[in-house]
Amino acid sequence: MIITAAEVWSVEMLLSEPYDIAYENVDKTVNIFLRLETDHGIVGYGCAAPDEKVTGETPDKVLSVINEIIVPSIMKADPLRSSMLLEALKGKLKGYPSAMALLDMSLYDILGKTCNIPVWKMLGGFRDCIKTSVTIGILPVNETLERARYWIEKGFNCLKMKGGTDVDSDIERVRKVREIVGENTEIRFDANQGFSVIDSIKFFEETKKSKIEMIEQPTKRDEHDKLKCVTKGVNIPVMADESLVTLRDAFRIARHELCDMVNIKLMKVGGISEALKINAVARSAGLEVMVGCMDESALGIAAGLHFALSCPNVMYADLDGHLSLLDDPFKDSVLIKDGKLYPTEKPGLGI
């Protein structure tokens, strides 16, 4: 089998619900898509969701490296030799993890379709669905409560609240949300690097009764000692997100016991292949894993879902980045029922 043609295009998608996090307002996203054709009639799809603040990429740069580096390198190549292709491009695509993820998932899609089985089963098929959290951005208290009610009515029972700009406001919002959702709804909190160590401990102490499930990336991504201080200073799991981008980061986090959990996002680590390596490090170190996402098409969400379903220690999912996208060209790539994500039963990534 060889790759005979490639099509690359970008899509700007507005969000039906713009949101604020600690360092930016988000009202739209740009995703870049890849379609690979083979001489066997099998077609593979990939998606990149670059984010300058998280992945260090801009859409224009990603589009450029795909057209100028990736496509010329893979034409007439055997797509089933994914390790060879990805390793050959790793040096050239250093600093472009979402571009690597795009190629990686398109090759997995071809492999699954060649084998005529879904990727999640091909990788081991540990579970067939996973509960996902849904995100509530930084909003005034009343609007936060409205969003919480909205998601509960939609059948979700796991909320991820954003914060990090004002610890006192964050404490109030968490308390109020717990009051209206009751004890059976999980609440996770993401500070997006906005807290100091003192803020983090204060937040923990004053939300104890609200029973937060975890706190994500409280301190700056490169302030490893401060992240460790928070981990040692609170009695709820602390998760690294922005601090984890590479396999080397995973080793650092594990070796120095910087946190209790890690958030693996395909777009920031470079795809399923790299995610599996990072997950192996996390599992060997006893770190729990959540699979996360950017504001990305359901195609990217599908790839994250297939990875999550295959790994026993990926216990949590935050795969809601597609829910508020308007005009997503791959909107039917995953299924949702009662707050859980299911893959389609189609081969490959289910496209």
Q: Mind giving me the DSSP string for 72-86?
A: HHHTTS-TT-HHHHH
Give the phi and the psi of residue 71 in degrees, each rounded to 5. -60, -50
CA–CA dist 79, 3 (Å, integer): 6
Instruction: Find, among 108, 102, 93, 86, the residue nearest to 47 by Cα.
Output: 102
Q: Is 220 a catalytic residue?
A: no
Q: Find out whether 200 and 191 touch, Cβ atoms under 8 Å.
A: yes
Q: What is the dihedral of CA 224, 227, 229, 234, to 10 degrees?
A: -160
CA–CA dist 264, 115 (Å, integer): 26
Instruction: Find, among 118, 39, 36, the residue nearest to 85 by Cα.
Output: 36
Which one of the listed residues 57, 216, 274, 296 is annotated catalytic?
Answer: 216
Which one of the listed residues 57, 109, 190, 328 is annotated catalytic?
Answer: 190
Q: Is 190 a catalytic residue?
A: yes
Which one of the listed residues 113, 121, 160, 162 is annotated catalytic?
Answer: 162
Which one of the listed residues 265, 274, 295, 318 is annotated catalytic?
Answer: 265
Q: Is 28 a catalytic residue?
A: no
Which one of the listed residues 57, 186, 241, 328 is annotated catalytic?
Answer: 241
Residue 200 vs residues 38, 228, 233, 235: alpha-carbon distances, Å: 52, 12, 9, 11
Residue 66 vs residues 30, 34, 114, 331: alpha-carbon distances, Å: 15, 9, 24, 23
Q: Is 345 a catalytic residue?
A: no
Which DSSP letter does residue 96 get?
A: -
Q: Is 331 a catalytic residue?
A: no
Active site residues: 162, 190, 216, 241, 265
